[in-house]
Amino acid sequence: MDMNLLFYPPDKNPALIHPLVLAYVGDAIFELFIRQVVISQPNQRPNYLHRTATRYVSAKAQSKALEQWLPLLTEEEQDVVRRGRNAKSGSIPKNADVLEYRHSTAMECLIGYLHYKGEHARLRELLDMLINK
């Protein structure tokens, strides 16, 4: 995937960006990645696309994805995950419990962080694990 279309550099070092801002960007990147994966499959009926994508982008699914990634993360990546998990967003979606939501936010934070650090190969490696189970 050519990430140049998605790259507009932040005004500060990614390590200094608030975790919820990284999660905001990470959410969009993850959603786009999953949509591209789903559209690459033969069945492209809109209802199927939505149902399939939802299996990956729900807070519950993202929380499970983070669990899969945790043993493989570097110390730096683990620190970003901790920052994302501990960030207080003020609201929790009705379809997720607090822990799932925090883990989901942590996963999105890591995605945003890796994107802004320009570590696209690492990001792709982690994302591919989720679709190649």
Within 8 A by CB and 6+ apart from 132, the residues are: none
Catalytic residue, chosen from 27, 79, 97, 128, is: 27
> Three-class SS of residue 45?
coil
Whether residue 114 contacts residue 24, with contact meaning beta carbons closer than 8 Å, is answered with: no
* The two structure tokens encoding residue 94: 């009705």
11 is catalytic: no
Whether residue 25 contacts residue 132, with contact meaning beta carbons closer than 8 Å, is answered with: no
Q: How far apart are CA 94 and CA 26, in angstroms?
A: 21
Q: How far apart are CA 43 and CA 85, in angstroms?
A: 35
Residue positions annotated with a catalytic role: 27
